Structure 1
Amino acid sequence: MVADQHSKHLAFKALHEADEPFVIPNPWDAGTARLLTALGFPALATTSAGLAFARGVPDGACGLDDTLANAAEIVAATDLPVTADLGDGFDDPAETVRRAAAVGLVGGSVEDARHGEVLPVDVAVERVAAAAEAAKGLPFLLTARAENFLCGRPDLDDTIARLKAYEQAGADVLYAPALPDADAIAAVCQAVDKPVNVLVAGAAAQLTLAELGRLGARRISTGSGLARAALGAVTEAATRMRDAGTFEAIAAAQPYGDLNRLMGGR
């Protein structure tokens, strides 16, 4: 483990216990980690989709080795606490947590779906419990994710029941991506005692940080949003070059010198 991993873990834990919610953006490589660090965010999270798109493959196609290699590069690029998107925990959630901590991560999320299908709740609870047991004694916050709304199962009652079960199984943070509206976000936050992560997508993206905080959210993540925004900007710029022969986006790009200095150059 890195020398200051314990201090990073304590700082990360304190963010979840603060009176105000915090934003944790999701870089997908070392360069975006450096950029987001320079902008003053208090912590970072990896994104499985952002990594996959950078590799030219669909989300979910990157295995554990690639996931942790990417996470290690992000950890090395910043002095901030970093938590990782660990997908479904891969074959062995306990071993995944141990390996994640070993590359310097101070947290990670395990979701309750595989290949787009939500796992039976007893299987999901067993996997969360195994991950939580492995995290004991490590500088590591475990986030458990209920994937119903991402997997075409818009069942709020089941989502809340699952999050309560994961809380009892030892998860430190709870997360239900793609909740449909503010009422659903509030219902989830009120139903559990552990901090809740909210993804800024769909209805949540229309709310401010202060509004999400009033609903009970403690941590606000961007998921694949920044990676998609970057790829969208490339698509827009390239489309204009192709169709109109104009280069406004290139002229307006962040200056080379600024980015080069940010990455450690002159």
Structure 2
Amino acid sequence: MSDVSKVELFRSLHRHRPQGDPLVLPGPWDAASARVFVEAGFPALATPSAGVAASLGYEDGATPADEMFDAVGRIARAVDVPVSADVEDGYGLAPKELVERLLEAGAVGCNLEDSEGGVLKDPHAHADWLAEVRSVAADRLFVNARVDTFLRGVEDPERAIERAALYVAAGADCVYPIGAPTAVLPLLRAGIEGPINMYGRLGAEGPSPAALGELGATRVTFGPGFQRRAAEALREITETLGD
């Protein structure tokens, strides 16, 4: 499948989704986990920066840009489905270089944060930067704009809606109000134009993807959830070796 058809497929997966049936995107942290997810039938994947960081021996947010893009490239080459990449806040790269490196890695989309060093960016300046990314990328990348207000202690959903509106106007294909309480999702859905990404938790830890879809989520991602669950399983296995 060509990169062009992959991004077209990825974009189409977000359109006209029935209520209660969000796009579920598991987060591979390496080539092997990506292949497991594809074998399980998932039509696309979304790398988590924290999960990739852990696989490379870094704390979340400390992965050098070169290593992150290399890891994304290995994942994208290992599977035939579209792969979107979490590239944090863009690593200080100019939009042209950021887009070029994502495309070179084989990514069809990207997740871009609106905070840096734990501090929210000016939303207007960030929107201008997103508009540059969109201009350079044209239709070659699906841009998921993360809204970090809830993550940074700003609990008023209207602040998230305001930022989301700026980012959508700048050309973002989807917005991601990470950390938003489930209870405010209907309000976010009513106030945000276009697809909404929500953070999902595995098993009984939180609402199911279907439940999030019923409340207004277009797609559900899990951050480093799968990688951390796999690490827990590995610890359990190693504990049995001494029995």
TM-score w.r.t. length of structure 2:
0.91
The more displaced of 8-17 and 227-236 is: 227-236
Which residue of structure 2 aligns with residue 62 of structure 1?
63
Say whether 1:41 aligns with 2:42. Answer: yes
Task: Give the Å deviation of 1:209.
Answer: 2.5
Do the aligned residues in 1 keep the contact of 2:108 with 2:142 (CA within 8 Å)?
Answer: yes
Q: Which runs of 5+ in 2 are unaligned?
A: none
Q: Percent identity?
A: 34
Mapping for residues 61-140 of structure 1, pairs under 5 Å: 61-94=62-95, 95-136=97-138, 138-140=139-141
Partner Cα distance (1:93, 1:214) in 2:
38
Which residue of structure 1 aligns with residue 195 of structure 2?
195
Q: Which runs of 5+ in 1 are unaligned?
A: 247-266
Equivalent residue letter for 1:97: V
Task: Give the Å deviation of 1:236.
Answer: 3.3
Are the structure 2 counterparts of residues 154 and 238 from structure 1 closer, same or farther at C-alpha, using a change threshold of 3 Å? farther
Which residue of structure 1 aligns with residue 221 of structure 2?
221
Q: Deviations over 1:168-226 (max 9, x none)?
A: 11101111111122x31222222122111111149x95222222222121111111100
User: Once superposed, what is the RMSD of the aligned Cα atoms?
Assistant: 1.9
Task: Give the Å deviation of 1:90.
Answer: 1.6
Q: How many residues align?
A: 238
Do the aligned residues in 2 keep the contact of 1:49 with 1:58 (CA within 8 Å)?
Answer: yes
Which residue of structure 2 aligns with residue 5 of structure 1?
3
Which residue of structure 2 aligns with residue 164 of structure 1?
165
Partner Cα distance (1:92, 1:236) in 2:
40
Partner Cα distance (1:5, 1:78) in 2:
12
Structure with greater contact order relative to length (CA < 8 Å, sep ≥ 6) = 2
Are the structure 2 counterparts of residues 219 and 90 from structure 1 closer, same or farther at C-alpha, using a change threshold of 3 Å? same
Partner Cα distance (1:87, 1:93) in 2:
14
Task: Give the Å deviation of 1:83.
Answer: 0.4
Task: Give the Å deviation of 1:237.
Answer: 3.5
Are the structure 2 counterparts of residues 205 and 73 from structure 1 closer, same or farther at C-alpha, using a change threshold of 3 Å? same
Tell which structure's C-alpha radius of gyration is larger. 1
Are the structure 2 counterparts of residues 207 and 93 from structure 1 closer, same or farther at C-alpha, using a change threshold of 3 Å? farther
Do the aligned residues in 1 keep the contact of 2:201 with 2:208 (CA within 8 Å)?
Answer: no
Do the aligned residues in 2 keep the contact of 1:135 with 1:142 (CA within 8 Å)?
Answer: no
